[in-house]
């Protein structure tokens, strides 16, 4: 490791420039957020916009407070979070397993290809009524919807990651007499790790779509339920609040995945 | 020992069938280093796949002696997520022979051929020539009797190529392994081999065989020998270039 004192003046200037750039980015981000929230609040206070329709940051904070006071804040958050995470985990693991099976068998891949393509392009919300009738109106129905929305992309992304593995390495494994299971374990899984990480990032976004969409169709609780309910009774504060919390949660979950990726690809 | 007896091989594709190899006969004796040269696309890789039994011949017979095969490919195909050591152990893991004793043997080989300081590094930290040496040690770790080399130097720049060429020949000779190399590089074939087999264009069949016994045992001294140029000319004419 080089000591900082050993760097040339030019290099130190370069480092400083890089650091300044970073600081500018971070400050600008914070400023942008504050500006948007501030303008929104001021416009609502001065009645430039109607806070009954648009709500306002202070009303959102008040709503969070009252939800917290009557003890339902974490209940709703918990329900939606549980549905999303459960759906996400099921979609990723089952999707990964299916992708493995499809990788192992060319024939199975060819047979199932058109079905996967059709299922991928089908708007999953069209299956809403069927899901309600088959599974009911509990949160298992919503988890099922979440899985449905994200699993196809999980399968397709992971499979294309498997298939993109360097052919020379496959020949090498074959020349050592490796069977499919060994090739999977020693080569395909580690080689396709970056593809898996990408899949997780896409899947986490889709899982949120699935769970909130599920709650729109059937639910008695959750953030999606609050949004729909708030819309129906014209409590836009509630709608905005739930949306705001969703932003935080979705961003947080993405952050966790990004952190895992950093750890894994180190 | 490895013997090709009247081997023919035909590829089948939707567009039709292609005879890659027809009526091929040659022998690789134990401890011999044999090179097969031929024009590009004449089915050289097919010959190695037939030798290793990855492909079954359409007709004829491949007679194999005792012992296993080890493959060395055009590119090193090292796994970037494993260390050099991990790469060398790969064939042991695949062949379910990952015992402490075998690992120690593999490490001994690695140290003997100058990889001691690189064992804990990742392939990306190594030069092209060094990577190819790791690939060779990986192949040898499984203790094969016959090495099948598929243009293992073709992806390297010229200078590295000469170095690695020397390197590989020295290691294979001192480990007393039998080797079958396919290449399109005439000078490489002369520099490395005890015997050169010249193939025709597709469908490949043997045009001529040459024993090479001048210039001592190292590729370097061969290249410096006066007969090198003459042999090169003969082979060049036989290849029709």
In this prediction, residues B67-71 reach a mean pLDDT of: 85
B90 contacts in A (CB within 8 Å)? 176, 186
What pLDDT is stored for residue A255 in this prediction? 93
Write the CA distances from A46 to A38, A41, B103, integer angstroms: 12, 9, 77
- Select the residue from B49, B50, B77, B95 to test the A interface by mutation, using most A Cβ atoms within 10 A: B77
The count of other CB atoms within 10 Å of the CB of residue A168 is 15
Let me know: does A76 contact A241? Beta carbons within 8 Å: no
What pLDDT is stored for residue B11 in this prediction? 86
Write the CA distances from A171 to A243, A248, B183, B203, integer angstroms: 51, 47, 18, 24
- Of B96-105, B181-190, B207-216, the poorest mean pLDDT is in B207-216
CA-to-CA distance for B146 and B197, rounded, in angstroms?
Answer: 17
What pLDDT is stored for residue A1 in this prediction? 47
Give yes or no for A35 touching B (CB within 8 A): no
From B81's Cα to the closest Cα of chain A, the distance in A is: 7
B50, pLDDT greater than 50: yes
CA-to-CA distance for A8 and A3, rounded, in angstroms?
Answer: 11
CA-to-CA distance for B162 and A17, rounded, in angstroms?
Answer: 45
Place of tokens 């690789």: B28
Give yes or no for B45 touching A (CB within 8 A): no
B95 contacts in A (CB within 8 Å)? 176-177
| 3 state SS of B80 | coil
Q: Which candidate, A221, A191, A201, places its Cα nearest to that of A79? A: A221
From A8's Cα to the closest Cα of chain B, the distance in A is: 26
Number of cross-chain residue pairs from A and B with Cβ atoms under 8 Å apart: 41
From B71's Cα to the closest Cα of chain A, the distance in A is: 6
Give yes or no for B75 touching A (CB within 8 A): yes
Residue-by-residue DSSP string for B83-110: -HHHHHHHHHHHTT---HHHHHHHHHHH
Q: Do A173 and B79 touch (CB under 8 A)?
A: no
Q: Do B81 and A193 touch (CB under 8 A)?
A: yes
Place of tokens 């905005």: A240
Among the partner residues B73, B74, B94, nearest to A186 by beta-carbon distance: B94
- Select the residue from A165, A169, A170, A177 to test the B interface by mutation, using most B Cβ atoms within 10 A: A177
Question: Which residue of chain B is at minimal alpha-carbon distance from A188?
Answer: B79
The alpha-helical segments, DSSP class H, found in A165-235 are: 167-175, 180-183, 189-191, 193-217, 223-232
Buried b (16+ CB within 10 A) or exposed e, A199-213: bbeebbbbbbbbbbb
**Pair of tokens at residue B92:** 């042991």
From A168's Cα to the closest Cα of chain B, the distance in A is: 6
Give CA angle at A230 (A225, A234), nearest 5°: 155
What pLDDT is stored for residue A23 in this prediction? 95
Q: Which candidate, A92, A266, A108, A126, places its Cα nearest to that of A180? A: A108
Window 181-220 of A: residues touching B by CB (8 A cutoff) are 182, 186-187, 190-191, 193
**Size of chain B in residues:** 241
From B128's Cα to the closest Cα of chain A, the distance in A is: 16
Place of tokens 């390197």: B167
Let me know: does B82 contact A187? Beta carbons within 8 Å: no
Q: Do B81 and A186 touch (CB under 8 A)?
A: no
Give yes or no for A263 touching B (CB within 8 A): no
Give the DSSP H/E element, type plus range, for residue A141. helix A139-163
Among the partner residues B70, B74, B94, nearest to A178 by beta-carbon distance: B94
Between strands B33-37 and B146-150, the pairing is unpaired
Among the partner residues A168, A187, A193, nearest to B73 by beta-carbon distance: A168
Among the partner residues B73, B93, B142, nearest to A186 by beta-carbon distance: B93
| 3 state SS of A105 | coil
The count of other CB atoms within 10 Å of the CB of residue B39 is 16
A177 contacts in B (CB within 8 Å)? 94-95
Give yes or no for B120 touching A (CB within 8 A): no
Q: Which candidate, A118, A112, A108, A205, places its Cα nearest to that of A154? A: A205
Let me know: does A54 contact A66? Beta carbons within 8 Å: no
Between strands B16-28 and B2-13, the pairing is antiparallel
- Max Cα-Cα span within chain A: 76
Place of tokens 């045992």: B217
**Pair of tokens at residue A242:** 């739930």
A190 contacts in B (CB within 8 Å)? 79, 81
Among the partner residues A174, A176, A193, nearest to B91 by beta-carbon distance: A176
The contacts of residue B65 (CB under 8 Å, 6+ apart) are: B1, B2, B30, B145, B146
Let me know: does B80 contact B122? Beta carbons within 8 Å: yes
Give yes or no for B141 touching A (CB within 8 A): no
Q: Do B77 and A186 touch (CB under 8 A)?
A: no
B93 contacts in A (CB within 8 Å)? 186
In eight-state DSSP terms, residue B79 is -
Positions of chain A with pLDDT under 70: 1-5, 266
CA-to-CA distance for B193 and B212, rounded, in angstroms?
Answer: 7
Give yes or no for B237 touching A (CB within 8 A): no
């Amino acid at each position: 490791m080089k000591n900082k004192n050993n760097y040339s003046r030019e290099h130190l200037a370069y480092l400083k420039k890089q650091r300044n750039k970073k600081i500018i980015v971070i400050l600008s981000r914070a400023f942008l957020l504050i500006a948007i929230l501030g303008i929104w609040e001021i416009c609502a206070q001065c009645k430039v916009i109607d806070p009954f329709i648009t709500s306002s940051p202070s009303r959102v904070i008040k709503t969070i407070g009252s939800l917290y006071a009557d003890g339902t804040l974490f209940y709703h958050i918990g329900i939606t979070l549980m549905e999303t995470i459960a759906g996400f985990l099921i979609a990723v693991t089952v999707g990964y397993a299916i992708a493995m099976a499809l990788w192992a068998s060319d024939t199975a891949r060819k047979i199932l290809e058109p079905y996967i393509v059709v299922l991928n392009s089908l708007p999953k919300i069209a299956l809403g009524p069927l899901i309600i009738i088959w599974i009911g109106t509990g949160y298992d129905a919503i988890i099922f919807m979440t899985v449905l929305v994200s699993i196809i992309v999980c399968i397709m992304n992971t499979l294309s990651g498997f298939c993109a593995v360097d052919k020379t390495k496959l020949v090498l494994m074959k020349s050592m007499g490796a069977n499919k299971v060994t090739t999977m374990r020693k080569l395909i899984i580690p080689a396709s790790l970056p593809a898996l990480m990408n899949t997780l990032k896409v899947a986490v976004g889709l899982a949120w779509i699935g769970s909130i969409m599920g709650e729109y169709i059937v639910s008695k609780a959750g953030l999606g339920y609050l949004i729909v309910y708030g819309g129906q009774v014209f409590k836009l504060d509630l709608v905005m609040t739930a949306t705001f919390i969703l932003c935080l949660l979705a961003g947080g979950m993405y952050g966790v995945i990004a952190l895992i990726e950093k750890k894994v690809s180190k | 020992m490895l013997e090709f007896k009247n081997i023919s091989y035909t590829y089948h594709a939707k567009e039709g069938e292609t005879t890659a190899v027809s009526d091929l006969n040659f022998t690789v004796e134990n401890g011999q280093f044999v090179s097969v040269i031929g024009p590009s696309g004449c089915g050289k890789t097919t010959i190695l796949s037939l030798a290793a039994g990855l492909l079954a011949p359409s007709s004829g017979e491949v007679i194999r002696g005792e012992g296993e095969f080890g493959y060395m490919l055009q590119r090193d195909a090292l796994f970037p997520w494993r260390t050099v050591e991990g790469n060398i152990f790969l064939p042991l893991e695949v062949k379910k022979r990952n015992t402490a004793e075998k690992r120690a043997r593999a490490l001994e080989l690695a140290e003997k051929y100058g990889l001691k300081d690189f064992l804990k590094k990742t392939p990306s930290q190594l030069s092209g020539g060094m990577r190819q040496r790791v690939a060779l040690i990986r192949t040898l770790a499984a203790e094969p009797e016959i090495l099948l080399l598929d243009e293992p130097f073709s992806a390297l720049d010229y200078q590295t190529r000469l170095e690695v060429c020397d390197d590989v020949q020295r290691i294979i000779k001192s480990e007393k392994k039998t080797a079958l190399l396919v290449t399109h590089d005439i000078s490489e074939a002369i520099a490395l081999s005890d015997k050169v087999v010249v193939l025709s264009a597709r469908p490949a069949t043997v045009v001529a065989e040459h024993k090479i016994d001048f210039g001592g045992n190292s590729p370097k001294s061969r290249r410096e020998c006066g007969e090198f140029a003459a042999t090169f000319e003969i082979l060049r004419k036989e290849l029709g270039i």
